[in-house]
Amino acid sequence: MPEEAVTTLRAELERFGRAEEAFALLEVFLDVARPQLGAVVLDPVGLRLPADLTDDRALVQQLIDELEQEPRGKGRVVERGFDMDDEQARWDYVRLAYSSNQATVWSRRQRTTYFEVSGRHKATYWLPDSLKADYFGALRSRGWAVPEDWLTAVAKRPKPWWKRGGR
């Protein structure tokens, strides 16, 4: 059975009129995708407020301050998980993801990445067709416009495992 086609969607903060728009889009995605989500994590080290943040600056700074007070494990990889079944944890993750150097939303199956922020300046969604359709439908039903370039983005079938990597 071939894997479902996947669409890559750019989601950097500067592409939106306000950072809060990117937050709202991520919040809807996490709600829609919740049954399919695996780990939802971010790197809590060196969190910084995005320059584009407007209305939520004080709230996000408070979240950053609270997270910095949490004890850290001694492992090499620093990762903080968030429970997507907890509404407050989902809200916190949405507001912290773009403040983190690395934030990732994994799928439950096949350990595929659905969303990632890297280096605080690059953000991407990788959505299988079925999830993309549900996501876009949920955005429209909540009164949000789907970004035009997202609507025209072309889905691609993943390469078979034996053709991945290498070159």
Q: Tell me, what's the pLDDT at 157?
A: 79
Q: Which long-range contacts (CB under 8 A, 24 or more apart) does 47-53 make?
A: 47/96, 47/99, 47/100, 48/99, 48/120, 49/99, 50/13, 50/19, 50/98, 50/99, 50/120, 52/13, 52/14, 52/16, 52/18, 52/19, 53/19, 53/20, 53/98
Cα 126–Cα 35–Cα 162 angle in degrees, nearest 5: 45
Question: What is the tens place of the pLDDT at every residue in 9-67?
Answer: 999 988 888 888 999 999 999 999 999 999 999 998 888 888 777 777 888 899 899 88
Read off the DSSP letter of residue 155: P
Q: Tell me, what's the pLDDT at 150?
A: 96
**Percent of the chain with pLDDT strictly greater than 90:** 56
Report the predicted TM-score, pTM, of the whole model to 2 decimal places.
Answer: 0.86
Q: Indicate whether 2 pLDDT > 60.
A: no
Could you tell me the pLDDT band of residue 1, with boundaries at 50, 70 and 90?
very low
